[in-house]
Amino acid sequence: MENELLNLNVSNEFILNNNEENIDLSLNQETSSNNGSVTGTVYDTVVGTGTPVSGATVKVFTSDGIPYAHTITSIDGKYTIDNLPIGMYLVAAAKEGYTLSLDVPLTVSNTIPTNIDLAITPNVDITKNIIYGRIRDNATKLYLGDVEISLFREINGERVLISSAKSISDGEYILDNIDDGNYIVTYVKTGYQSIEMNITLSNGIKFLANESMTSIIGQINNTVSGIIKDTAGNIIANALVALYKIDNGNEVLVATTYTNALGKFMFGNVIDGNYLVKSKYSA
């Protein structure tokens, strides 16, 4: 490889018309550059023998891992990154469907380009399915963290847990590496009504599932309890007890139970509101 010792210089424009023209040029000495470059080829799986990979991103990092520059490989898998200050770097390659290559140490000089070939390996899990999304409070619209998301599959009539995750503070979650098939997804958080849905995944789909959860804080911990007796004061076991909610003047039956051997009954998790209790006994 030849190195330029004197810089290119250009004359002024001139006209030739049956005349003799004398052109003298002075060439300045090439000044040493403090920059260099890296070039190479990105291969599939094995450097040198694998198929060149076009459209791969090649990125140069400083020696302490700070991104510095990047480019995209050409149709023949080749790349060049110029104007790198002399020094030590790391270089790596990536492309969708492949696993990020290992970092390769790079020393940039101002004499000749540094050649570094890279290999990226196809990611076999890239064809599998993903479920992702964000979860928020249905009323406030604020995002919810610490929601337990569970993925189940029915096998021989039983639910089998396949995967689980928790949403982070901004409501985001992701479940990955999921095989094709039918699944049940549940969303559970203390103080909220649980959500359950059935989904079918196939062909490496990225399934977006944004959910809104309804708070039941302030709607729980109400209880209604008592004892059923006859007019003589005798306790009545196995008496029917019905709880009605008064809604716009109408009585709406919301729950029923039967008294125990001591004549006692209780309704739990009753939401706020106006109620009445009715009871009867049939032998």
Give the end-to-end CA distance of the chain in Å, rounded to a whole number: 108
Strand 57-62 and strand 87-94: the pairing is antiparallel
Q: Per-residue pLDDT for 83 more than 50?
A: yes
The burial class, CB within 10 Å (0-12 / 13-18 / 19+), for 36 is buried
Mean residue pLDDT of the chain comes to: 87
CATH architecture of 35-122: Sandwich (2.60)
CATH class of 128-213: mainly beta
> Mean pLDDT over residues 251-269, rounded?
89
Separation between Cα atoms, residue 96 and residue 120, nearest integer Å: 10
Token pair, residue 127, equals 């064809």
pLDDT digits (tens, 9 = 90+) for 43-63: 999 898 899 999 999 999 999
Instruction: Say what the pLDDT of residue 44 is.
Output: 94
Q: Per-residue pLDDT for 1 more than 50?
A: no
Question: For residue 265, what are the β-bridge partners?
Answer: 226
Instruction: Say what the pLDDT of residue 220 is.
Output: 54
> Mean pLDDT over residues 107-134, rounded?
88
Q: Per-residue pLDDT for 40 more than 60?
A: yes
> Mean pLDDT over residues 181-198, rounded?
91
CB 276 within 8 A of CB 246: yes
User: Could you check whether 128-213 and 224-280 share the same CATH topology?
Assistant: yes
Q: Per-residue pLDDT for 113 more than 90?
A: no
Token pair, residue 80, equals 């060049």
Instruction: Say what the pLDDT of residue 252 is.
Output: 86
Q: Where are the domains of the chain?
A: 35-122, 128-213, 224-280
Separation between Cα atoms, residue 72 and residue 58, nearest integer Å: 6
CB 99 within 8 A of CB 92: no
The burial class, CB within 10 Å (0-12 / 13-18 / 19+), for 130 is middle
| One CATH from 3.40.50.180, 2.40.50.100, 2.60.40.1120, 2.60.120.920 for 224-280 | 2.60.40.1120
